[in-house]
Each structure stands twice: as structure tokens, then as C-alpha cells.
Amino acid sequence: MAVYTPVSDQYLSDFLQNYDIGEVISLTEITEGVENSNFILKTSLDSYILTLYEKRVSADDLPFFMKLISELYNRDISCPKPIKNKHGDIINKCAGKYATIVSFLNGETAQFTNLERCSQIGVMLARLHLAGAMIPLSRDNPLGPASWLAILKDTDDSNTDLATTLNREAITQINHIISSWPTSLPSGVIHGDLFPNNAMFIGDTLTGIIDFYFACTGFFAYDLAICLNSWCFESDGRFNSEKATRLISSYQTTRKLTQDEIDALPILSQGAAARFFATRYYDWHHTPKDAHVQRHDPLEYWNKITFLKSNANLGLYGF
């Protein structure tokens, strides 16, 4: 989440004329994340999330995202519910951008992880994958392995403040990952971005998951690898195998991994790190200076790639 497009009182008033959600009390910017402009909208009836879509989110994909979270919500997955306007439309326009309103989930995004939180997110991810296998929706992953090299090559890093050799070294690593990428694993709709800041907790109780704008059709084990990379590395860069083992074992109480999925975890984890390194590297060099958004350091995920390549064994995950 982030804010690229400010919303004036007039824009908001015009937009909300078509909704029956009460009178506006406040609109607060959310600066977490990097993709869209997001706000907490408080009204006399309830609290909501207003999202204006920017950057990598194509208008053509919005019906998929809204249908997906509607399906998940109806299948008892704790996620936001899209709010229709007076005409029954979910996708509308605000401040010249496509926009939606969804329900607000109570709690706070996870600012830290622990064993209990890893356990709960493992179960939730497995439930999501079981639902994702049944939902009759599909979307190609625009940020899959085929895109990573192109993203790096499209990055204007001529004035980089990072190591000048980093782009070239990353291309070498990614070529290795792609050459070892599995061709067939259990798949369906995945979240694609289930970081701690996309999970809501009250204390250590998971209240729901948010931000499905990277959801797509993909390997379930790749989605698990994204989680392992984002939930099980400590702030000092150490990988916590105890957290990884707990997350995977909790996942398997709901959905058993196949042996092929288990065997693929090391290369999938490297690929999951490469995907976020590539987009962070691009954003590090292309985020507008006046955008109300926190840039994420690509070196965090470069260090994860190098660690995972040097420790490409199943013992890391408790197998």
C-alpha cells in the first residue's frame, strides 16, 4: 500500500455520492507498501479501505481481483469484502483513477513475526490454496520468472547509489534460477504477496489477510516460498528455521505438500527472493521523489538470494 495520488475533499465528495456508506468522518493516507494509493475511509456507518489503482495494476485485471476476494470472502476466508455502489458497481473512478472500496479488517498489520503468527499464517495460506484450487478464475502472473530479467534490464540505474555490478550479478543469479525452475507442480490461484504487512492481527490472533493485487495462477509451493522468505528471516538477516518449520507444519495440517513440492522448495525460495529483488531494484530507481511511499531496500532480497543459494537444502525447512 502507498499514496501516489492525493484525494481532495471535492474528489471524495463526488465519488461517494454514488455510495450508501454514510457521511465522511475522515480519510487517512496509508503509506505502507509500494503499489497503489490507499486510504482508511471512516464514515458515520463504518470504516473502509479506499484504493486508487496505480502503476503495475492494470484496469483489465481489476474484475479478476474483485471477483477473487468476493469468492474468497464467500468461502469464509478472512479478507476484505468489495463494496458496491448504488448502481451495483464495484469498480469506479476517483480523482481520475480506477478505484474501489472494500471493508475494513480489524487489527494491525504484523510488524514482527513469531512462532504463533507463523503457525496461523501457514494455516491461512493452506486454506487459501484449497479455495484457490476450486475457484473458477485464472490470471497469468505478470511478475513470474519470465519477467525478472526484463525488469532489471528496464531499470535506469545509470545514477545508482547501489553497487554498479549488482544488476549484472543479479542477471547471472536469475538465469541460474530460471534454468532450474520446475515445470509442473500443484497450482491454482495464489496470493503472491503474503508478507507480514498484508496480514492483520489482534495480539497474536490472525484476523484476516489483505492486498490481493498480485494474486494470479501459480504454484502453491511458490506462494509458500514467498511466505517463508518474508516471515522467517529476522531483521538482522538470519534465517529462522524454527519459524519456517512451524509455518510449513501448520500449513500441512490443512493441505499436504507433495514430495515434488517439497523437493522444489529451495529453488522456489530463491525465485521468490529474485522476484522481489527485481521489483524493489526497479522501484528503488524509479519511485517519484514526491510520492508518499516508503521505498523498500532491494539489498534485503539480494542478501536473501545469496543466502538461499548457499543453503539450498531441505534441512532449512525442517525436512
Listed residues 43, 74, 104: the one ending a domain: 104
Mean pLDDT of 102-125: 96
Is residue 2 assigned to a domain? no
- Give yes or no: residues 188 and 121 share one domain: yes
Listed residues 104, 128, 146: the one ending a domain: 104
Is residue 1 assigned to a domain? no
Contact 95, 7 (CB under 8 A): yes
Listed residues 104, 122, 154: the one ending a domain: 104
Structural domains counted in the chain: 2
Q: How far apart are CA 97 and CA 26, in angstroms?
A: 20
pLDDT of residue 31: 75
Is residue 4 assigned to a domain? no
CA pseudo-torsion sign 263, 132, 191, 145: positive
Residue 25 clears pLDDT 90, i.e. is over it:
yes
CA pseudo-torsion sign 92, 95, 98, 99: negative
Residue 212 clears pLDDT 60, i.e. is over it:
yes
- Give yes or no: residues 276 and 158 share one domain: yes
Contact 49, 38 (CB under 8 A): yes
Residue 142 clears pLDDT 60, i.e. is over it:
yes
pLDDT of residue 292: 62
Q: How far apart are CA 178 and CA 163, in angstroms?
A: 23
Is residue 126 assigned to a domain? yes
Please write the tens of the pLDDT for every residue from 218-261: 999 999 999 999 999 999 999 999 999 999 999 999 999 999 99
Q: Phi, psi at residue 47, to the nearest 5°?
A: -110, 145
The CATH number of the domain holding residue 207 is 3.90.1200.10
Q: How far apart are CA 90 and CA 183, in angstroms?
A: 36
Most confident range, picked from 4-13, 46-55, 113-122? 113-122
- Please give the residue range of the domain that contains residue 58: 9-104
Mean pLDDT of 98-104: 96
Is residue 123 assigned to a domain? yes
- Give yes or no: residues 164 and 239 share one domain: yes
Neighbour tally for 98: CB within 10 Å: 17
Q: Phi, psi at residue 209, to the nearest 5°?
A: -125, 150
- Give yes or no: residues 65 and 172 share one domain: no
Q: How far apart are CA 218 and CA 170, in angstroms?
A: 23
pLDDT of residue 1: 45
- Give yes or no: residues 97 and 113 share one domain: no
- Give yes or no: residues 167 and 202 share one domain: yes
Is residue 247 assigned to a domain? yes
Q: Which residues contact 250 (CB under 8 A, 6 or more apart)?
A: 118, 119, 120, 122, 123, 126
pLDDT of residue 195: 97
The CATH number of the domain holding residue 63 is 3.30.200.20
pLDDT of residue 22: 95
- Give yes or no: residues 115 and 229 share one domain: yes
Please write the tens of the pLDDT for every residue from 280-304: 999 999 887 766 667 889 999 999 9
Is residue 186 assigned to a domain? yes
Return the C-alpha cell found at 244.
Answer: 519456517
pTM of the model: 0.93
pLDDT of residue 293: 66
Residue 35 clears pLDDT 90, i.e. is over it:
no
Contact 64, 139 (CB under 8 A): yes
Mean pLDDT of 8-14: 94
